[in-house]
Amino acid sequence: MAVEMMVPVIPVKLQGLYEVLPKGRLIPRFRKVTATIGEPIAFDKKTPYLEATRILHNSLKMLS
């Protein structure tokens, strides 16, 4: 969709969400959650979807 609309994508990594709401738990707990925000990535309409996916995947890996 970002390729078609030509809007930038901002990669975001959220850590600690499992501790807030583990599988099977109905009520969230107060725990630390960290958000790491990457640089915006812009695509043009000529960018193949698989290439855009690869770029986004690599940018999320770099946030680790």
pLDDT at res. 26: 96
pLDDT at residue 5, rounded to an integer: 79
Three-state DSSP at 40 gives: coil
Say what the pLDDT of residue 38 is.
96
Averaged pLDDT, groups of 10, the chain, 64 residues long: 84 96 95 97 91 94 90
This prediction's pTM: 0.75
Side chain identity at 39, as an amino acid letter?
Answer: E
12 φ, ψ (degrees, to nearest 5): -135, 130
Provide the pLDDT for residue 29: 96
The tokens of 24 are what?
Answer: 């099977």
Q: Is the dihedral of CA 37, 43, 47, 49 positive or negative?
A: positive
Helix (H) or strand (E) holding 49: helix 49-62
Annotated domain spans of the chain: 2-62
The confidence score (pLDDT) of residue 51 equals 94
Start-to-end C-alpha separation, the chain: 25
